[in-house]
Amino acid sequence: MTYCVALRLNAGLVFLSDSRTNAGVDQVGTTRKMTVFENSDRLMVLTTAGNLSISQSIRQIISDYVNDRGESIWTVTSLYQAAQLVGECIRLVHERDAKSLERFGIDFNVSMLFGGQIRGERCRLFQMYSAGNFIESQNESTYFQIGEAKYGKPILDRVVTPESTLDEGAKCALISMDSTLRSNISVGLPLDLLLYEKDSFRIGRFVNIDEQNLYFQMIRNRWGQQLRSIFEGIANPTWNAWAPASAAGEVQDSDPTQPARIRPPRQQATGVSNAAPEPLQTLAQQPPSNEQH
Long-range contacts of 247-250 (CB under 8 A, 24+ apart): 248/274, 248/276, 248/277
Of residues 56, 11, 47, the one with CA closest to residue 204: 11
| Contact string 69-108 vs a second copy (x = CB under 8 A) | ---x-xx---------------------------------
User: Which residues, including other chains, have CB under 8 Å from residue 187's CB and lie 6 or more apart?
Assistant: 1, 2, 3, 18, 20, 147, 148, 177, 180, 181
Our finding on whether 18 is near a second copy (CB under 8 A) is: no
175 lies in the binding site for a second copy (CB under 8 A): yes
For position 283 contacting a second copy by CB under 8 A, the verdict is yes
Using CB under 8 A, count the residues that bind a second copy: 105
Residue 292 binding a second copy, by CB under 8 A: no
HSE of 201, CA atoms in CB hemisphere, 13 A: 8
Residues in the chain, total: 293
| List 29, 64, 138, 250, residue binding a second copy (CB under 8 A) | 64
Which residues, numbered 103-162, are part of the site for a second copy (CB under 8 A)? Answer: 148, 150-155, 157-159
Q: Is 291 in the site for a second copy (CB under 8 A)?
A: no
Nearer to a second copy (CB atom), residue 131 or residue 204: 204
User: Interaction with a second copy in 23-62: which residues (CB under 8 A)?
Assistant: 32, 34-41, 45
Residue selected from 29, 244, 251, 292 as contacting a second copy according to rule CB under 8 A: 251
Closest CA to 55 of 2, 100, 122, 117: 2
DSSP annotation of 257: T
Which region, judged by CB under 8 A, interacts with a second copy, from 85-93, 98-106, 127-135, 259-267? Answer: 259-267
Q: Does 9 bind a second copy (CB under 8 A)?
A: no
Candidates 109, 121, 185, 204: give the one binding a second copy (CB under 8 A): 204
Cis upstream peptide for 287 (omega within 30°): no
Nearer to a second copy, 106 or 159 (CB): 159
Q: How far is the CB of 100 from a second copy (least distance, A)?
A: 26
Task: Give the Å distances, CA to CA, from 216 to 29, 85, 193, 208.
Answer: 21, 36, 11, 11
> Residues 220-249 vs a second copy: string with x where CB under 8 A?
--xxx-xxx-xx-xxxxxxx---x------
Identify the sign of the CA torsion 255, 260, 263, 268.
positive
Return the SS3 of 167. helix
